[in-house]
Amino acid sequence: MKLRMTLLSLILLVSFACKNESTTSSLANYQGEESYSVIAGENKVGYLKTIISGDTINVDFDYKNNGRGPTMKETIVLDAAGYPIDWSITGNTTFGNAVDEKFNLTGSDASWTDATGSGTASVANPLLYVNQFGSPYSAVLAARLLMGAPESTLPVLPAGNVTLTQMETLTVPNASGEGELALTTYALSGADLNPSYFILDSDNRFFASISPRMVVIREGYEASEKQMRQLAENYSAERYQSLQKEYAHNYGKKVRIHNVHVFDSKNLKLTDAVSVVVDGDKIASIDPVDATGENEVVIEGNGGTLVPGLYEMHAHTGDNAALLNVLAGVTSFRDMGNNNEVLANLIEKINTGVLAGPRVTRLGFIEGKSKFNANNGILVGSKEEALAAVDTYDSLGVYGIKLYNSMNGDWAADIVKKAHAQGLFVTGHVPAFSNANAMLNAGFDEMTHINQTMLGWVLEPEEDTRTLLRLTAMKRFPQIDLNSAKVQETMDLFVSNKTGIDPTLSIHEKLMLSRNGEVAPGSVDYVDHMPPNAQRGLKVAMSQIADEEEDKAYRDAYKKIVETLNMMKDKGILIVPGTDLGGAFNLHRELELYTEQLGYSPAEVLKLATYDMAQYLGQEDLGSIEPGKLADFFLVPGNPIEDIKAIKTIGMVSSGGTFYYPSEVYPEFGITPFTGKPEVKE
């Protein structure tokens, strides 16, 4: 009897508990496992798996694209309302930095630890935690909470607010082949510069996170990944098209910028005070300071400096960075590799004024097929395919081609020969298992990333640079003897072939000198202007710095890079300014580094990034502020040839006679303006 009772009461107890657990848990309807594929450039490059049991979600997320990508495990415990009350994220970031992020909410005590350190808050009610390193899956948790919130907006931890916006509904064929699956797309904004986009099904189950170049999508629906990427491209384009409509000033008449000193990029000096007249997309005249004209818009320069638009020579164009670059005075891009379709659309929209963005000079990206290949441009499996890719790009009217890590180095000489015969410029990474000397002998016109050249002095022939090794092996740089025969042979090849170097020094600074909890050295001048989560992201090490020895190795390696570039500069090797970090504020840093560490004067580095690059690309109508040239320039209150930092405080930008005032636009990104709008008399 007794036993039976106990058994019965036990069964009752368990079922009650389960019922209670499943009934009270906000995850009652989501128990079980789900699997997702990560797809980049139409290739499956990873997965996301979730297991939901009771009020706990376990997430396993990993992808490898171009030989690198995050590996994350998350355990998330929700309260009955769906707020995460315990969250742990462990793993490694794309560039290898170890992650051990935690959040906990006990009663009214919230505490978290991320790469920037720890924080606490006392909260009257649960608040959503915005994580730093979690997978895209957590968007669904935010969405379920925001759906019931006023204005679909909630304050979040560590700081800021996030807003959910429903974008559209659509259906896709069911994976089972029967019927259709109803979906709704959403945007989540407020934490970062740009919204993130994702999709839920009619049960508010996570279906996909989407971006123009990569999706994480429910298994069985991989066939619709292109459609999903197109949606993200549309949403992003819509956002930027509406910003362009609102903040691009096309005055439709002459514009006079009154009382400015023009930076004469050819002669490295500032003019006396003048007024500059723009008519249409060109500079019409440079007049005496007190000259006036009929029926003009007058922008008051207030004695500031007018600088020609800057060139970012190592860009990967995206609509999200395009406008931010123009606002930072970067009016010309050399695109070093992209999804060709996405890029063609962007260039079309920029050229027709639908989107704000720099003028784009295209390099055709050619990558070899391998398990580590990047998923951009054209992938080739043979020399014949590589030579055919040269023709494809030639027919698209590109400026040149760029070869990448998984290319077969033995094909380079023939590829270069064909490209040169067709008047195409050639640059690139050093293909794995090859070295810089081989590419210089093959006839490269320029070499990309200083590490790609220097690795040839420290790697064994069989070591594979398609992996993170091309970053971690930089720890060997301190042992390089720059006066050794090996190094001098490479230097001599650069000189004799008149080959330039695109060092992307600022990304090396970030890779090797950024540390958890410290503002990255290149970001100190703008970090406080950024939205909360973006500020956090600027206080994270890019690489894995496990201990003091590794810390010292990377610091010494960075010093060796600077010594190498100084030697190259002294030998007359052209240094081509680009960042590979999205340009804008980072291009300002690249130029600043050249003045701080490579011995350029501020005037010399401004000439380099304007007049010299225009000449280098054969763009005669750009690079200086002269009558007849395209009206690409920006206004700063200060004097940038006295202090290069003056280029970081921009009041106005003209991009081909379309005027922008950063102080008007930055709030759309959650950025605090650096200076106000000049007086404009229309």
Two tokens at 517?
């909890």
Integer-rounded Cα radius of gyration of the chain: 27
| Least distance between Zn ion and beta carbon 446 (Å) | 13
| Least distance between Zn ion and beta carbon 42 (Å) | 20
Two tokens at 25?
């848990």
| Least distance between Zn ion and beta carbon 179 (Å) | 44
| Least distance between Zn ion and beta carbon 236 (Å) | 20
| Least distance between Zn ion and beta carbon 448 (Å) | 7
**What is the number of residues in the chain?**
682
Say how many C-beta atoms besides its own lie within 10 A of residue 247's C-beta.
18
| Least distance between Zn ion and beta carbon 468 (Å) | 15
- DSSP 8-state secondary structure symbol assigned to residue 482: T
Cα 628 to Cα 632: distance, rounded to the nearest angstrom: 12
Cα 390 to Cα 644: distance, rounded to the nearest angstrom: 39
Q: In terms of CB distance, is 114 or 580 closer to Zn ion?
A: 580
Q: In terms of CB distance, is 578 or 651 closer to Zn ion?
A: 578
| Least distance between Zn ion and beta carbon 51 (Å) | 37
Cα 53 to Cα 661: distance, rounded to the nearest angstrom: 52
Q: In terms of CB distance, is 48 or 584 closer to Zn ion?
A: 584
Q: Which of 371, 368, 370, 343 is nearest to 357 (CA)?
A: 343
Q: In terms of CB distance, is 334 or 629 closer to Zn ion?
A: 334
Beta strands in 27-83 (DSSP E): 32-40, 43-53, 56-63, 71-78
Q: In terms of CB distance, is 337 or 657 closer to Zn ion?
A: 337
- The SS3 of residue 644 is helix
Residues facing residue 546 across a β-bridge: none
| Least distance between Zn ion and beta carbon 316 (Å) | 6
Q: ∠ CA(340), CA(343), CA(347), 5° rounding? A: 135
Are the CB atoms for 92 and 500 separated by under 8 Å? no
| Least distance between Zn ion and beta carbon 580 (Å) | 4
Q: In terms of CB distance, is 55 or 335 closer to Zn ion?
A: 335
| Least distance between Zn ion and beta carbon 45 (Å) | 18
368, burial (CB in 10 Å: exposed 0-12, middle 13-18, buried 19+): buried
- Residue carrying the six token digits 């000397």: 437
Q: Which residue minimizes CB distance to Zn ion?
A: 580
394 CA to centre of own chain: 27
Beta strands in 289-356 (DSSP E): 297-308, 310-315, 330-335
- The SS3 of residue 465 is coil
Output phi, psi for 63, to 5 deg: -150, 155
Q: In terms of CB distance, is 261 or 316 closer to Zn ion?
A: 316
Say how many C-beta atoms besides its own lie within 10 A of residue 56's C-beta.
14
Q: In terms of CB distance, is 248 or 336 closer to Zn ion?
A: 336
Please give the biggest Cα pair distance in the chain. 108
Q: In terms of CB distance, is 304 or 377 closer to Zn ion?
A: 377
Two tokens at 379?
């992938």
Q: In terms of CB distance, is 337 or 662 closer to Zn ion?
A: 337
- Residue carrying the six token digits 């007018």: 306
Q: In terms of CB distance, is 428 or 602 closer to Zn ion?
A: 428
Q: Which positions touch Zn ion (CB under 5 A)?
A: 336, 580
Q: In terms of CB distance, is 317 or 610 closer to Zn ion?
A: 317
Residues facing residue 501 across a β-bridge: 447, 575
| Least distance between Zn ion and beta carbon 584 (Å) | 15
Residues facing residue 580 across a β-bridge: none
| Least distance between Zn ion and beta carbon 677 (Å) | 34
Output phi, psi for 272, to 5 deg: -65, 175
